[in-house]
Amino acid sequence: MIDFEQFKKYSRPGPRYTSYPTAVEFSEAFGYEDYIAKLHEQQSSTPLSLYFHLPFCRSACYFCGCNVVFTAKEEKKERYIDYLLRELQILARHVDTSRPVVQLHFGGGTPTFFSGSQLATIIDGIRAIFGNWREDAEISCEIDPRFLSRDQMEVLARGGFNRVSFGVQDFDPRVQQAIHRIQSFEETARAVELAREYGMESVNIDLIYGLPFQTLESFHRTLERTLTLDPDRLAVFNYAHVPWLKKTMRKIDETTLPAPQEKLAILKHTIDFFTTHGYKMVGMDHFAKPDDELFRAIEKGELHRNFQGYTTKGGADLIGVGLTSIGAGRDYYAQNFKEMERYEAAIDQGRLPYHRGILLDRDDQIRKAVIMELMANFKLDIPKIEERFGIDFASYFRDALEELREFEEEGLVEIDRERILVSETGMLLIRNIAMPFDAYMKRHLNKKLFSKTV
């Protein structure tokens, strides 16, 4: 058991750093015309990463922090597909659609809540606009095993999808009851088997620790059952309990949530469990087999982090399509409307449904490079940052390095003139280690914006 007393001071709200600056800094100050200008500035030689948000779910999972629309009406899904394809037509006026696509992802919501024919319509519509999918492109879809048919899997495989990610969270019936997501092990096993049958190159399974009624012993049983499914990758997320932001989380009895020391013990055990069974810890919360490209990327220090998690496809411009989707270029982030009415109204006017974003100044870009490198590879090549941005690292980040001194004294990081290296224990607190480099944190100290790091 980890000595939580030593680390409880680090249990504080902090970002997950899927972006820097984080989404709380987005605003309408970076306006529509600014975004359009950035799209036109993009180089034709730069590849594309496309994210499609398919927001519908039949019912609420109480732990979920995603932007979802609950419905059982087919006409709502059909209407959304129509607007999604119209958004693509508008996008084609502002983006060179012949650029190579190196990454494409369907996220949700529940993408497989759409029928096989509906998914085929979406995929065909995308290929009609963005037809240059590179041979080694990473084409992935999030799947709820409770909503997966052979027809849907056939459509995905025929459409070029080569990666799937199955949401599991926990196999314990008591935990499932508390989070309003009843999903048997047999359902999940059948879904994984179907993915293998249709030649999916990579199968990922999502788990969450910190959910109601979880204990070290109960989660160990979930880990053992997960291992029998032989996934290529695993994502094991820290449950972000933010009921002030997500109303469905208010249905969770907070007294049933595991204490921080139990959560830390679960995380440490999870890392030990998967690493002793042949997986490599990749970034903050992912694991991969030795023959997986993520494993090879972290060995070379070439792993990247974006809104879809960890990837080897760095350097691509990310374009978000659909309700609330986020895109990213070299020096900006852009987010679509979250409200369906505003999303549809913009498209009806022949405009992209862009709502807000942020233009990154030079300081943002420097700090982004540092934070993302630490989050992805648990180390930082200081001379490389100095050469890239023309700075003296020790002077530029004097305050951050001073703040990290305590981490260094406790053996969480090693720092010298050439590098910052995060220890195995420090990996458990990587969000905390990244936070001193965040120029925006001080203004948010007393606000309820982020989940706790532990």
Domain boundaries defined on the chain: 1-21+362-447, 23-321
Q: Where are the beta strands (DSSP E) in 173-298?
A: 202-209, 233-238, 280-282, 286-288
Predicted pLDDT at 1: 42
**E strand segments, 299-444:** 304-306, 309-311, 317-321, 326-329, 332-336, 354-359, 379-381, 413-415, 419-422
Phi first, then psi: what are they for 397, rounded to 5°? -115, 35
pLDDT of residue 311 exceeding 80: no
Q: Dump pLDDT digits (tens) for 182-229.
A: 999 999 999 999 999 999 999 999 999 999 999 999 999 999 999 999
- Asked whether residue 283 carries a pLDDT value surpassing 90, the answer given is no
b/e map 87-124, b = 16+ CB within 10 Å: bbebbeebbbbebbbbbbbbbbbbbbbbbbebbbbbbe
Question: What sign results for the dihedral spanned by CA atoms 284, 287, 290, 292?
Answer: negative
Judge whether 245 and 56 are in contact, CB under 8 Å: no
Q: Is the pLDDT of residue 297 over 80?
A: no
- Tell me, what's the pLDDT at 301? 64
Mean pLDDT, the chain, as a whole number? 91
Specify which of 2-6, 86-90, 300-304 reaches the highest per-range mean pLDDT. 86-90
**pLDDT for 398-433, tens place per residue?**
999 999 999 999 999 999 999 999 998 888 889 999
Record: fold of 1-21+362-447:
Arc Repressor Mutant, subunit A (1.10.10)
C-alpha to C-alpha distance for 207 and 223, rounded to whole angstroms: 9
Spatial separation of the C-alpha atoms in residues 438 and 364, rounded to whole Å: 9
Kindly state the average pLDDT of the residues 108-119. 94
Residues 6+ apart with CB under 8 A from 37: none
pLDDT-based confidence at 451, cuts 50/70/90? low
pLDDT of 261 > 70? The answer is yes
Band (287; pLDDT cuts 50, 70, 90): very high
**Tens digit of pLDDT for each residue in 321-336?**
999 999 999 999 999 9
Assess whether pLDDT exceeds 60 at residue 118.
Answer: yes
Higher pLDDT, 65 or 306: 65
pLDDT at 4: 57
> 1-21+362-447 with 23-321: one CATH topology?
no
What integer is the mean pLDDT of 127-149? 95
Angle between helices 74-91 and 340-348 (to 10 degrees): 50
Instruction: Please give the single-letter amino acid code of residue 325.
Output: S
Mean pLDDT within 82-95: 98
User: Which residues are bridge partners to 203 per DSSP?
Assistant: 164
The CATH fold assigned to 23-321 is pyruvate-formate lyase- activating enzyme (3.80.30)
Q: What is the mean pLDDT of residues 285-305?
A: 78
| Global confidence as pTM | 0.92
Chain segment 22-62, per-residue pLDDT in tens: 999 999 999 999 999 999 999 988 999 999 999 999 888 99
For residue 20, what pLDDT is reported? 94
Count of positions (residues) in the chain: 454
| 343-356: pLDDT as tens digits | 999 999 999 999 99
